[in-house]
A and B are shown apart, each in its own frame.
Chain A
Amino acid sequence: MDQRLVMALGHGAGFPLSSPQPREFAVSSSPQIRIMIVDDHPFLRDGVRAVIETQADLALVAEAESGEQALALYPTHLPDIVLMDLQMPGIGGVDTIAAMRSHWPQARIIVLTTYSGDAQALRALRAGAAGYLLKNTLRKELLDTIRSVHAGGKHLNAQVASSIAFHVIEDALTEREIGVLSLAASGNSNKQIAARLAVTEETVKGHMKLIFAKLGASDRTHAVTIAAKRGIIEL
């Protein structure tokens, strides 16, 4: 397990001391749906809080700005719903979802993200997310999604679901191919990638050829663009 996950799960306040303290609210025994938001952008947290505060049946009980903070706060508050960003410093959203669901299988998690890419969404859903929302649809869909997921359902944006299905006919990139493409995206030549991975340059060329074919890309720039858009790699 990632050492950062071990730290977060092994201690009551496992997040780094230099990190801003997470925001906590009073625990209530009301029948409201109790929500925790995990996002490193304070404006997003403020916006979601403002929306939730208008709803009598919802209550924001905790805020965290990282996966580590979320894992530390979860057992204290045991929220009914966790709203989770995917792109955060430290452990990412997908790893946080997997760790949360592993330790607290009852956790109901909704992803809030700007990424409509199929690979990112599929990873989050396989990790145990019950909802997947694009941030540009929050105004219309957030409240319905919270209530549906709290009732036990799953809720996805149809565009994301179709994107997942659309790419199923393609061969998925292997972990090695994703690693090669990530290094290429960082500006490494085939020779440099070969040195980093302790393989021959010919092996790297072979990987790149397969990557182009699987993604339908014409060159390495095109492949990087497609992979980033679909959430296969992060830039």
Chain B
Amino acid sequence: MDGRADDAVTIGRWRGVRIDIAPRDAVSAEVAVAIAGVFSYEIGRNKPGGGLGNLDAALGGAITRLRADGIFRAEPGEVLILSAPARPIQATTVLAIGLGNRAAWTPAVMRQAVATAARETIRLDADSAAFAPSLIDSGLNPDDLSGTPQAMLEGLFDALPDDRRDDGSGRLSRWLFCVGAVRFDAMAEVFRDTFDRLAAR
């Protein structure tokens, strides 16, 4: 699994990791670790929609059930790993990362979530991962999400140490950000511009 779907667009390379975006979700991404952001609750409904809803359904409702039971509270940075999921999930490991209170969400929360998930992926010695932020799936307004691509890229950069290619730490070589199919080309442009700006700093 190289983490690159046919519909993926490469954004750039950073410290040995190729960064792509693709109109995928945590179920369909062909990677070793499929990561999904999860809020501590959804407003106005009991279950998330979209890609996160698909993932939860593919796991028989495990994520929302464990959250409802308080076993996984989805607090910011909280990690829940579900190993060896069954099909249709393509990944060999699912990692749910807590995003906390939906009303208190900021891009900084996403930066921390991506960094934590990437460090855990490296700890698992996985070669590829896909991160589905699930923000719109959980009911956030798309108009309130400016700054999210930058926060996600910064979070990934935070988790990749300067010397990781020299000391051989981790095999991670592909990172895929899952985004919606709607306005995909525009989103790819935003990610590319942001990547170029951050990489030049």
Contacts and interface: CB of A to CB of B under 8 A. Distances in A.
Given A141-B84, A161-B59, A126 B71 contact: yes
A149 to B, nearest CB: 9
Interface residues of B, number: 24
B59 A153 contact: no
Interface of A: 122, 125-126, 137, 140-141, 144-145, 147-148, 151-159, 161-166, 168
Contacts of B78: 152-154
B79 A151 contact: yes
Interface in B79-126: 79-86, 94, 119-120, 123-124
Interface of B: 59-62, 64-66, 69, 71-72, 78-86, 94, 119-120, 123-124
Nearest to A169: B61
A158 to B, nearest CB: 4
Contact of B69 (A126, A148, A152, A162): A126
A153 to B, nearest CB: 3
B66 A157 contact: no
B62 A158 contact: yes
B86 A159 contact: yes
Given A164-B65, A165-B65, A156 B84 contact: no
B180 to A, nearest CB: 26
A137 B65 CA distance: 23
A153 B97 CA distance: 10
